């Protein structure tokens, strides 16, 4: 049996000496009934989150902690606990308490670097994403808050940020902050945005998802939390700087890659197409291929209409537009959309087909 002794900590006004018995604790976690599992999990989380932190081999109370065995034992406890919590998120032992209990403990444990590492290695980040959704009842609001708190803690950890960048986390967080009226939920999501703003393409995605307008709306509300107001101001300034840095084609590219096509001004701006037409050749015509994929897979009539229109614009402005679009097998996709139930889609599909058959020489005479 491994025993991990922690220095005394204060609990409810009393100085308590805590000892973790590894094998006993984990036997209770994995084999006990739900009541015992829940209590064991919360006690372990309390011990871990309350223990004095190790800095340069010295504990907060001044005791030396040079023993590698002691440190590795504590890390083993943390890793085992994180594994059990991930299991609860995948297949909860209790139908209504399993997931809330796991999230509650993770919100305390993810302050620990070793827990963040173990959680990411266990592929736990993806288990949080489905839980990021607008909530109405008090119980679901608390679960949402603690889930967003976990994401905020992970936003300080680079490997977790890399995963968040490839998931649906950001659109879901935007939906939450757009609809939530609970101050603590809004605060933790805004702080998460602030952390992610300068990372990779997050800033551009936030702009495309309409976050600048949402921030303006949030600032107009009466919040009592000064930290939230300060964070909103900082986020607004950061988004403005991001918009200035983005070229018009960068914005367009992000819009297409995210699949959030709408009639933003650049689509119908002849200058945009003339200035940026060669940019469409990048990465083997990646943007054109994505537009064609949107035609195949999207159920949004607006996105389909804009995709058809953009393809017609490419045909008109690129010297080899008609040949390139034909080589990408786009004609069949556009032809199918000519029978779409939306008049907006059929109108722009027809325009695209006409330009495809007429070529650039005569295409400029066609109007939308």
**Per-residue pLDDT reduced to its tens digit, 142-176:** 999 999 999 999 999 999 999 998 889 999 999 99
- Write down the pLDDT at residue 52: 63
- Write down the pLDDT at residue 53: 60
- pLDDT band with cut points at 50, 70 and 90 for residue 122: very high
Residue 121 CA to residue 157 CA, distance in Å, equals: 12
Radius of gyration of the CA atoms of the chain, in A: 27
- Write down the pLDDT at residue 32: 65
State if pTM tops 0.75.
no
**pLDDT (tens digit, 9 = 90+) per residue, 70-119?**
445 677 778 888 999 999 999 998 999 999 999 999 999 999 888 999 99
The whole-chain average pLDDT of the chain stands at 84
**pLDDT (tens digit, 9 = 90+) per residue, 279-330?**
999 989 999 999 999 999 999 999 999 999 999 999 999 999 999 999 999 9
């Amino acid at each position: 049996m491994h025993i991990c002794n922690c220095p005394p900590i204060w609990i409810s006004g009393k100085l308590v000496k805590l000892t973790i018995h590894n094998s006993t604790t984990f036997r209770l976690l994995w084999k006990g009934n739900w009541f015992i599992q829940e209590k064991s999990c919360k006690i372990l989380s309390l011990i871990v989150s309350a223990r004095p932190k190790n800095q340069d081999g010295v504990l907060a109370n001044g005791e030396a902690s040079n023993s590698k065995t002691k440190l590795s034992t504590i890390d083993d406890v943390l890793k085992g606990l994180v594994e059990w919590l991930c299991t609860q998120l995948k297949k909860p032992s209790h139908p209504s308490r399993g997931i809330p209990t796991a999230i509650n403990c993770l919100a305390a444990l993810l302050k620990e670097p070793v827990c963040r590492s173990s959680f990411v290695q266990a592929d736990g980040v993806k288990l949080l994403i489905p839980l990021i959704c607008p909530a109405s009842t008090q119980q679901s609001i608390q679960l949402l808050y603690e889930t967003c708190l976990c994401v905020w803690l992970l936003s300080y950890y680079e490997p977790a940020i890399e995963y968040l960048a490839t998931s649906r986390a950001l659109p879901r967080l935007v939906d939450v902050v757009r609809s939530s009226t609970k101050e603590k939920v809004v605060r933790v999501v805004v702080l998460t945005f602030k952390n992610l703003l300068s990372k990779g393409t997050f800033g551009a995605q936030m702009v495309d998802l309409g976050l600048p307008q949402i921030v303006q709306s949030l600032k107009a509300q009466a919040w009592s939390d000064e930290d939230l107001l300060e964070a909103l101001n900082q986020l607004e300034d950061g988004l403005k700087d991001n918009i200035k840095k983005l070229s018009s084609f960068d914005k367009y590219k992000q819009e297409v890659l995210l699949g959030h096509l709408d009639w933003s001004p650049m689509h119908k701006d002849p200058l945009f197409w003339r200035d940026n037409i060669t940019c469409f050749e990048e990465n083997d015509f990646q943007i054109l291929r994505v537009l064609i994929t949107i035609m195949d897979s999207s159920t949004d009539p607006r996105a389909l209409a804009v995709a058809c229109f953009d393809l017609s614009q490419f045909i008109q402005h690129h010297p080899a537009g008609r040949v390139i679009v034909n080589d990408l097998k786009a004609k069949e996709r556009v032809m199918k959309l000519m029978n779409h139930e939306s008049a907006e889609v059929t109108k722009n599909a027809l325009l695209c087909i006409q330009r495809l058959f007429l070529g650039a020489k005569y295409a400029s005479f066609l109007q939308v």
